[in-house]
Amino acid sequence: MVSGRRPFAAALAAPAAIVAIVATVGTAGCSSIGGNTPQQDRLYYNEAMKVAAEEQLLLNIVRLRYTDSPSSLTVSSIATQTETQQSYGLIPFFGTANNESELRRFSGLLPQFQVQMVNRPTISLTPLDDQDFTRRLFTPMTAEGVLYLAKTSWPIATVFRLWLESLNWVSNAAGSGGPTTTAAPPPSDFQRGMQLMQVLQDREQIAFAVEERETVVGSDIAPDRVQAADLIAAARDGFELRAAPDARSWSLVRRRKVPVMRVHPDAIKSPEMIEMSRIFRLRRESTRFDIEIEKVDPFNYPPRGIETIDLEARSLLQVLYFVSKGVDVPAVHARDGIAVTTLDSQGRAFDWTTITRDLFKVSSSDQSKPPPTAHVAIRYQDHWFYIDKRDGPSMATFTLLMELARLELPGRPGGGPSFTLPLGGR
């Protein structure tokens, strides 16, 4: 557990409040109230849930680097029970006489009344490894989903490096979206292309948008065949029946939204756009590129380039496999064959972290506890694996993965058995 962060069970078992009231004879009564309000308890539970979710995600990333099976639990419920304990008593006063060493009894008694309230929460954990969870884990992201991320404040290079297996069939470290292989991926200009695209986006010379396109479906329709019910049915199904300007015929029009990448005219002749067009085989004079999913023939490129940004998107599981290549494998694990060692064409050990450089890194340590700079840490194979809070790119990528995992995976628990853990108050 990371230094300075409360363990999951301990955080949930924090006492809600301790109230003590003490009254003395011959003096005015006094009272003290301390502990946590319900709002404070909620913050404790929230922090505990956050820590548990981050540790679970990091653990699964490390497991994938070791070709281990990922597994997830979700907290399906938290029930808390408040227990009130009361105690009463009379405590005799003792004192000493002036200039006397022997103890003499005081004539008064000290009444004491104490109330203690303790929260005893119970959490229910349910496995998420059901059919729906697994299907979503393996489902690639859509073009609309990739565009949604591209239009947020996240750097486009981060989004595309994580979520794309290839762009116009230029591979993003082939095989990195699956279990670690013994052979290194072939050289690729994908990372260089992403750097150039990021420069252009930072200059506001490229932008991602959605355009509405219209397509006429079928042949012309005679006016006497169009009824009011047909207009309603077409609209319900995403079409439009539209009369021709001369009113002699009608057409069935389908409207669809097409994600596009637009290029500022001033950027067409920039060195960055020229090099990026070469890498991804784009038509250099174009200022608009449709974004598609696996529509371009990888073996038949037009000689002058293409006007399409063709994406091969990854699933969330592939993304997790990809970032797992940023795990720093201890030398002892590589030596003993616990983690797969990848070799390059010269037979030398291939450093996978060059693929995830400036994007994501998980450090490792064989110490008894993680360093104080660890944001989140887990224990695996007798080592600590952690994300350093000073590593801005890794922190940002980890946050993005946490948020997208919540979006892509079902929020409801799976159909597996539930585990109920009573956590006693302290």
User: Is 124 within 8 Å of 419 (Cβ atoms)?
Assistant: yes
**Number of C-beta neighbours around residue 130 at 10 A:** 15
Token duo for residue 20: 């003590």
The pLDDT-based confidence of 232 (bands split at 50, 70, 90) is confident
Distance CA 242, CA 270 (A): 43
Distance CA 131, CA 409 (A): 12
Q: According to the model, what pLDDT value does residue 364 have?
A: 96
Q: 337: number of CA atoms within 13 Å, CB side?
A: 1
Work out the average pLDDT over 339-345.
92
SS3 string of 140-202?
Answer: ECCHHHHHHHHCCCCCHHHHHHHHEEEECCEECCCCCCCCCCCECCCCCCHHHHHHHHHHHHH
Distance CA 220, CA 211 (A): 25
Q: According to the model, what pLDDT value does residue 18 have?
A: 28
Q: Tell me the pairing of strands 288-293 and 308-313.
A: parallel
Residue 243 has pLDDT above 50, yes or no: yes
Residue 338 has pLDDT above 90, yes or no: yes
Element (H, E) at 423: none
User: Is 75 within 8 Å of 124 (Cβ atoms)?
Assistant: yes
The dihedrals phi and psi of 289, each to the nearest 5 degrees, come to: -130, 120
Residue 34 has pLDDT above 50, yes or no: no
Q: What angle do CA 244, 249, 251 make, to 5 degrees?
A: 70
Token duo for residue 197: 């695209």
What number of residues does the chain have? 426
Mean pLDDT of the chain: 79
Residue with more model confidence, 365 or 294: 365
The pLDDT-based confidence of 35 (bands split at 50, 70, 90) is very low
* pLDDT tens sequence across 286-301: 999 999 888 877 777 6
3-class secondary structure, 15: coil
3-class secondary structure, 50: helix
Residue with more model confidence, 404 or 409: 404
Distance CA 207, CA 193 (A): 16
Work out the average pLDDT over 305-329.
93
**Which of 339, 292, 334 shows the shortest CA–CA distance to 312?**
292
Q: According to the model, what pLDDT value does residue 37 have?
A: 58
Distance CA 336, CA 229 (A): 72
Residue with more model confidence, 150 or 8: 150
Lowest mean pLDDT among 42-51, 118-127, 218-227: 118-127
* pLDDT tens sequence across 52-109: 889 999 999 999 999 998 888 777 777 766 667 777 776 665 555 555 555 555 556 6
**Number of C-beta neighbours around residue 79 at 10 A:** 11
- pTM, two decimals, is 0.74
Token duo for residue 58: 């990091």
Residue with more model confidence, 305 or 400: 400
Distance CA 10, CA 1 (A): 12
The pLDDT-based confidence of 363 (bands split at 50, 70, 90) is very high
Residue with more model confidence, 1 or 378: 378
* pLDDT tens sequence across 159-197: 999 999 999 999 999 889 999 999 999 999 999 999 999
